[in-house]
Amino acid sequence: MSAVDEYPTGKVPLLSVRNLVVEYGYVRALHGLSIDVHQGEVVCLIGSNGAGKSTTLRAISGMIPSAAGSVTFNGDDITGVPGHDIVKMGLAHVPEGRQVFGDQSVHDNLILGGITLSRDEGRARAEHELDRFPILRQRQHQRAGTLSGGEQQMLAISRGLMIRPRLLLLDEPSMGLAPRLVHQVGEIIIQLQKQGMTILLVEQMATLALAVSDRAYVIQNGEVRLSGRSEEIENNPEVVSAYLGGSSTSDTVQQHQKPAQSGKELQ
Ligand SMILES: Nc1ncnc2c1ncn2[C@@H]1O[C@H](COP(=O)(O)OP(=O)(O)OP(=O)(O)O)[C@@H](O)[C@H]1O
Ligand SMILES: [Mg+2]
């Protein structure tokens, strides 16, 4: 399998990462990584601890610099562009660890997610997000730090959606959540895709990632080791033994059904 898949439509990808190299001091974390994400797709990066999944997302969103390679988003070369400018271009990154502002209210967290918007637009977008996640509306005046883990993850995703991104980067949304809530995160991803969102998902929980995504890249030691359609990756014996606990038919996979594409745009 090639490192970069040809997409059947032959369309230009929304996100194209080529030969990306990232170093933390003397430690090289990415060794020339290449991935594509097409409009409307959910693509996942799976791989073990320290493989370079979060580093890939951080370099795409401009949180950290890259030493070599390029990132093209929506036709623009965004390599080296500061993170706050990349957000304005419509790329939202929900980082690892649900980094909500614990002392701020749920509503204020949303407003902060829309900091690049005008005041009126920020308020309107926050209302829209509170409609999307009714539990957040119930808790809108509560400090974010008092929310449950699942609710905080919902808030983190919702905050990322405030700018109506063209591409959403999600880093380990299931981390630390109880199985029922992991399922809920999977449902949220499926719903977002139905509404037209394009998502690059990083997950250690490979069963979840493969169940909700169209295509997958397996990352190992800062390189793409395998790539392909998620169903193929799910049945690849190498992936099954390394990431799926020896079985490719876990409950999580069975619970999630891939949605048909609706093409409806997010509001
Ligand atoms: N801030 C940092 N300083 C130095 N090295 C780092 C830093 N962040 C990550 N690394 C190293 O870069 C490599 C890739 O780490 P990264 O966090 O991208 O992995 P990951 O695939 O997201 O892992 P996990 O599943 O544990 O989140 C690892 O070897 C890690 O130790
Ligand atoms: Mg990580």
Spatial contact of 183 and 255, defined as CB atoms under 8 Å apart: yes
Spatial contact of 49 and 23, defined as CB atoms under 8 Å apart: no
Output the CA 221–ligand 1 centroid distance in Å: 10
Mean pLDDT of 102-126: 95
Mean pLDDT of 108-121: 94
| Residue 245 identity (one-letter amino acid) | G
Q: Which ligand 1 atom sits nearest the alpha carbon of residue 54? A: 22
**Is pLDDT above 70 for 57?**
yes
Give the three-class secondary structure for 18. Answer: strand
Q: Which ligand 1 atom sits nearest the alpha carbon of residue 172? A: 27
Q: What is the pLDDT of residues 206-237, one digit of tens each?
A: 999 999 999 999 999 999 999 999 999 999 88
- The whole-angstrom separation of Cα 21 and Cα 176 is 29
Q: Which ligand 1 atom sits nearest the alpha carbon of residue 56? A: 18
> Does the beta carbon of 53 lie inside 6 Å of ligand 1?
yes
Q: What is the pLDDT of residues 168-204, one digit of tens each?
A: 999 999 998 888 889 999 999 999 999 999 999 999 8
Spatial contact of 20 and 33, defined as CB atoms under 8 Å apart: yes
Cα–Cα separations (whole angstroms), residue 182 to 6, 119, 240:
31, 34, 20
**Is pLDDT above 60 for 267?**
no
Higher pLDDT, 70 or 10: 70
Of 54, 220, 223, which is best to mutate to test ligand 1, by the most ligand atoms within 8 angstroms of its C-beta?
54
Q: Which residues contact 14 (CB under 8 A, 6 or more apart)?
A: 37, 38, 39, 73, 74, 166, 167, 198
Output the CA 161–ligand 2 centroid distance in Å: 21
What pTM, to 2 d.p., does this model score? 0.90
> Does the beta carbon of 50 lie inside 6 Å of ligand 1?
yes
The distance between the two most distant Cα atoms of the chain, rounded to a whole number of Å, is: 52
**Is pLDDT above 60 for 263?**
no
**Is pLDDT above 50 for 259?**
no
> Does the beta carbon of 26 lie inside 6 Å of ligand 1?
no
The H helix count followed by the E strand count for the chain is 11, 10
The CATH classification of domain 15-99+165-255, taken from the options 3.40.50.300, 3.40.1280.10, 3.40.50.720, 3.40.950.10: 3.40.50.300
* pLDDT interval class at 137 (50, 70, 90): very high
Mean pLDDT of 127-141: 96
> Does the beta carbon of 260 lie inside 6 Å of ligand 1?
no
Nearest CA to ligand 1 atom 7: 24
Every domain of the chain and the residues it spans: 15-99+165-255
Q: Which of 13, 167, 6 is nearest to 86 (CA)?
A: 167
**Is pLDDT above 60 for 253?**
no
* pLDDT interval class at 2 (50, 70, 90): very low
Q: Which ligand 1 atom sits nearest the alpha carbon of residue 222? A: 14
Range 120-123 contact pairs with CB under 8 angstroms and sequence separation of 24 or more: 122/162
Q: What is the pairing mode between strands 68-73 and 76-77?
A: antiparallel
pLDDT score of 245: 66
Mean pLDDT of the residues in the chain: 88
pLDDT score of 179: 87
